[in-house]
Amino acid sequence: MSEQDVTRRHFLRVPAAAVGSAALLSAQSPNDAVRVAFIGVGNRGSYLLRNMLKVQGIQVVAICDINPETLQKAMDAAKAAGHSPEGYAEYRKLLDRKDIDAVVIATPVDFHKEMAVASLEVGKHVYCEKPMAITPEDCRIVTNAAASAKGIFQAGFQLRHDPNRAAAMRYIHSGGIGKVLFLQGYRNTGDLPRQTLWYFDRTRSGDNIVEQACHIIDLMVWAAGSHPLRAYGSGGVNLYKNIPPGRTTMDNYTVIYEFPDDIRLTFTHLYFDPPGFSGIKERVFGSQAAIDLAAATYVELGQKGEHKLEVPDAAPGDQATYHSLAAFIDNVRGKKQPLNNAESARISTLTAMLGRKAIYERRVVEWPEVDV
């Protein structure tokens, strides 16, 4: 059983267990390294850990997961990279430590609010995976906690740090495609891993539009420069009915968002798309050109042929996740406001929830209904 498959009660009540043998670090970090702890090192968390280990000037000093095997794998990976973390099965024991500067949270979505707020309240800098929370009310709680905290809050909307997408967004915001007129996104893939059961429980994941699609929705909100005014859509389960057993998440849906200045976004999400058939698209259409965010290519209106934007050298690494984590550490050092900060994360998460509400209730839903 992976850490994602346990219940909320199990995660919060499991006894603490120190797995590592190294003593607690002193309050003064050698060479001014940023001392980082991880809470949740399952599928996503272990990927974040691997990328964090590439970031210069950090020490991974603590790792928490309720699954002993998952925890041990993460501990071994950190030790192999020259770190000496302590292991925990109870995140509050980890947060009691005074020698932790920053916490990375990569647990199932229904834990995000509680763990982020608890970390902020004890003065830690927080990198919390997307989406921000399950409900609009919880998003507000996290945002308020971030606003009053000593530490910074950065959300795991890592696509903002992808070199191609960042270059495309600079081009859009500088007027390169003219006035933004229309946005188009779709995320068509195969189904999610069946062994990760919480993915398929919408009371834990927030459903696919919130847990999975929020990345692309975040980019579209960034491109539009505003939250939407309203949304309407439709969705359901057409193929994977009760697969896996007890499934409550959709396998297809479409949402239309209306933004200020008569800008619209159409977003479609399918989980039964044949491999290589449709894939993922993030496109913005303007009065002078249309641009593909992921490719950083644009085509001028009335003209043929793509133009590639100049993208700065992204080495070392070329992954959005690495760049997002490196930016987090830089933000921690400089106490700088992240690009994917709490308020931007709240707006993007609420945009996904706006679409979810419209689908579930089969009606047009206005922004004030989720902006609590």
CATH 2.40.50.140 is held by the domain 3-157: no
Residues of the chain with pLDDT under 50: 1-30
Domain 160-318+341-369: assigned CATH number: 3.30.360.10
What was the pLDDT predicted at 314? Answer: 65
Q: Are 110 and 136 in contact (CB under 8 A)?
A: no
pLDDT of residue 313: 72
Identical fold, 3-157 and 160-318+341-369 = no
pLDDT in tens, 287-342: 999 999 999 999 999 999 999 999 987 655 668 999 999 999 999 999 999 999 99
327 three-state secondary structure: helix
Number of Cβ within 10 Å of residue 306's Cβ equals 12
Segments making up each domain of the chain, as ranges: 3-157, 160-318+341-369
- Which residues, at least 6 apart from 102, have a Cβ–Cβ distance to it below 8 Å? 34, 35, 36, 37, 124, 125, 126, 127, 151, 328, 329, 332
Check residue 316 and give its pLDDT.
58
* pLDDT tens for each residue of 146-200: 999 999 999 999 999 999 999 999 999 999 999 999 999 999 999 999 999 999 9
Are the C-beta atoms of 117 and 142 separated by less than 8 Å? yes
**For residue 19, what pLDDT is reported?**
32
Residue 20: per-residue pLDDT: 32
- This prediction has a pTM of 0.90
Q: What is the DSSP string of 82-150?
A: T---EEES-HHHHHT-SS--EEEE-S-GGGHHHHHHHHHHTT-EEEEPSS--SSHHHHHHHHHHHHH-S
Residue 150 vs residues 18, 35, 142, 156, 194: alpha-carbon distances, Å: 28, 16, 14, 19, 40
